[in-house]
Amino acid sequence: MGVYTDYREWAGRRLWKLQDAYLNDTYTRGPLAILARSITKEPGTDPKAAMWSIKGMPDTTSHPTNYHTPLEQGSWNAFALYAIHQRTAGHTQGMYTRGVTVEQALARLEQADPDSRRRIRKLTNTRTMKEAVTILKELIRTMGDHHITLDHTILAIDLARLENPNLRQRVLGRWANHRPDTTDKHQI
């Protein structure tokens, strides 16, 4: 298994646990509130958010404690975006759905809210993960308003790839060429 496959399994288990607990009121809404607030912080600076988003993450690279790999940064941001997404949608439906790509979610969003086209175009012209996250924050809220689900593990990987100049254009190209999905993959 590769790093990305290992990451998707690891992060998927954590997202399911968060989502299940939130939808079933198994525990307070504290973890989602902490993760949502972490969107404005540097990766790893909030230990409670890091417990969910990066601690124990499968990553084969070694690095000093004050540096986070692009995948760790992507994970930190994707978990924060998941929390915003789920809190916006409320308790009626889980917003994490395995296999729903960013481009599928963008296509659904554009159909549900044509006013989002300008922000989507702006997203597909970003140069860094930080820029993308700023725009995604608003797009994710709108997705939550329309109950459009997303696989946040795929989002984390895409965000990490934005930091690699050799992969950035491929990710942005996929996002820009989103097409409405005719299948019903967004259902579990």
CA distances from 110 to 143, 156, 159, 175 (A): 10, 21, 20, 12
Does the pLDDT at position 60 exceed 60?
Answer: no
DSSP label at residue 127: -
Helix axes 152-162, 165-176, angle to 10 degrees: 130
Does the pLDDT at position 178 exceed 90?
Answer: no
Average pLDDT over residues 54-61: 78
pTM, two decimals, is: 0.91
Q: How many CA atoms lie within 13 A of 94 on its CB side?
A: 21
Average pLDDT over residues 45-68: 80
Q: Give the pLDDT confidence score for residue 123 in this predicted structure.
A: 97
Q: Which residue has the higher pLDDT, 188 or 172?
A: 172
Give the count of beta carbons closer than 10 Å to the beta carbon of residue 165. Answer: 8
With helix as H, strand as E and coil as C, how does 76-112 read? Answer: HHHHHHHHHHHHHHCCCCCCECCCCCHHHHHHHHHHH
Least confident of 59-63, 83-87, 149-153: 59-63
Percentage of the chain lying above the pLDDT 70 cut: 88
